[in-house]
């Protein structure tokens, strides 16, 4: 397997899928069409060139479990919409109040706070609209698709990513201990990285054993990804990251390096990456792409 070529194919498929699902607005006001300004602000953030980690994880897991790639594309793109909404809302003045995201001014800096809230709400709702329509196109796999949508809803929702974000906000002016930090990162970060793995497995009607292996894989890459994100905020380069660095310290935010020091945080991330690779063992050669993906995520500087 040529990892670079395969990764480029997956990313291209996602970019194409996103553009097909959310084409440019065709009319300023027309029933059944997204209003032009709303559509523009949704597309602004969605097509701003993120790494597409979550949808690529879904397409790769779907391939590994022999799911028709066309069936998996829509939920993969929907997860990217949900991720993008969370970034738009996270950047708002009531949350992190950031000016830069994906190398561009944040949504509210361009369109205003009200429009940015709606762009986020729009992407979240549209994600589920797209996934439900996609499910109805595959009546023979309807149950698998409904389970996949549920897995995504739970991990993005009030016991998943939103729960993590709410505890993060709760501790804004309070000292966070390891238990709280783990909870926040499991839910805020790892849950949305686990969702695409489980969604692919649901469509494949995979057994419990496979679900557990993928859940363990998602947990490890999610926590490692977050520790690395914390480390990049200290050691990374703002131009490559497309956002300001040093913000965690400036905001007095608790992170793994703040809790344990940079060296120990690196060791923790290394152990988690190794654990992630180990949880793919039972998939043998079929997990070759996912293994290479983990190595690439591990080496990322952006
Ligand atoms: C507003 C409900 C709600 C949740 C916000 C995603 C999030 C939760 C906050 C963003 C801040 C942050 C550091 C989250 C941790 C997850 C993370 C590292 C997100 C960035 O994901 P990447 O690196 O971004 O995949 P790109 O731009 O490449 O898609």
| Domain, as residue range, for 52 | 3-298
Overall number of domains in the chain: 1
Average pLDDT over residues 270-283: 97
* For the CA of 165, the nearest atom of ligand 1: 4
For ligand 1, pick from 90, 159, 168, 234 the residue to mutate: most ligand atoms within 8 Å of CB.
90
Mean pLDDT of the chain: 94
Contact partners, residue 243, CB within 8 Å, separation at least 6: 98, 100, 101, 102, 103
Distance 5 CA to ligand 1 centre (A): 26
**86 Cα: distance to centroid of ligand 1 (angstroms):** 7
Residue 83 CA to ligand 1 center (angstroms) comes to: 7
| Residues having CB within 6 Å of any atom of ligand 1 | 50-51, 53, 83, 86-87, 89-90, 102, 161-162, 165, 188-189, 226, 229
Confidence of residue 302 (pLDDT cuts 50, 70, 90): confident
User: What pTM was computed for the model?
Assistant: 0.95
Q: In a mutational test of the pocket of ligand 1, which residue from 229, 231, 240, 269 has the highest number of ligand atoms less than 8 Å from its CB? A: 229
Mutate to test the pocket of ligand 1, among 53, 76, 188 (most ligand atoms within 8 A of CB): 188
3-state secondary structure 126-187: HHHHHHHHHHHCCHHHHHHHHHHHHHHHHHHCCCCHHHHHHHHHHCCCCCCCHHHHHHHHHH
Ligand 1 atom at minimal distance to the Cα of residue 52: 29
- What number of residues does the chain have? 302
Could you tell me the CATH number of the domain that includes residue 264?
1.10.600.10
pLDDT tens profile 8-37: 999 999 999 999 999 987 677 788 899 999
Atom of ligand 1 nearest to the CA of 89: 1
Chain segment 224-240, per-residue pLDDT in tens:
999 999 999 999 888 77
* pLDDT given at position 175: 86
b (16+ CB within 10 A) / e for 20-39: ebbeebeeeeeeeebeeebb
Least confident of 24-28, 44-48, 108-112: 24-28
d(CA 192, ligand 1 centre) in Å = 9
- Contact of 262 with 231, CB cutoff 8 Å: yes
Which has the minimum average pLDDT: 22-26, 83-87, 199-203, 232-236? 22-26
Report how far residue 210's alpha carbon sits from residue 216's, in angstroms, rounded to the nearest whole number. Answer: 10
Three-class DSSP labels, 228-267:
HHHHHHHHCCHHHHCCCCCHHHHCCCCCHHHHHCHHHHHH
């Amino acid at each position: 397997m040529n990892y670079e070529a395969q990764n480029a194919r997956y990313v291209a498929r996602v970019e194409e899928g996103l553009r097909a699902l959310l084409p440019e607005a065709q009319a300023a006001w027309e029933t059944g069409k997204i209003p032009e300004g709303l559509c523009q602000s949704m597309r602004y953030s969605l097509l701003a060139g993120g790494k597409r980690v979550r949808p690529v994880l879904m397409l790769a897991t779907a391939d590994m479990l022999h799911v028709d790639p066309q069936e998996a594309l829509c939920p993969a793109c929907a997860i990217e919409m949900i991720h993008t909404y969370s970034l738009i809302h996270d950047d708002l003045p009531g949350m992190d109040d950031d000016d830069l995201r994906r190398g561009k001014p944040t949504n509210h800096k361009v369109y205003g706070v009200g429009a940015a809230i709606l762009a986020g709400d729009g992407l979240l709702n549209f994600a589920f609209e797209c996934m439900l329509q996609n499910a109805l196109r595959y009546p023979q796999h309807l149950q698998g698709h409904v389970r996949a949508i549920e897995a995504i809803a739970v991990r993005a929702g009030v016991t998943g990513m939103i729960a993590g974000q709410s505890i993060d906000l709760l501790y804004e002016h309070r000292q966070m201990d390891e238990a709280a930090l783990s909870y926040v990162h499991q839910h805020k970060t790892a849950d949305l990285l686990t969702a695409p793995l489980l969604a692919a497995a649901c469509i494949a009607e995979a057994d419990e054993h496979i679900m557990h292996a993928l859940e363990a894989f998602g947990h490890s890459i999610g926590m490692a990804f977050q520790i690395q994100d914390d480390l990049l905020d200290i050691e990374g380069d703002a131009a490559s990251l497309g956002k300001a660095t040093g913000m965690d310290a400036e905001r007095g935010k608790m992170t793994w390096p703040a809790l344990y020091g940079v060296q120990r945080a690196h060791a923790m991330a290394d152990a988690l990456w190794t654990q992630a690779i180990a949880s793919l063992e039972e998939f043998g050669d079929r997990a070759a792409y996912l293994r290479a993906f983990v190595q690439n995520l591990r080496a990322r500087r952006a």
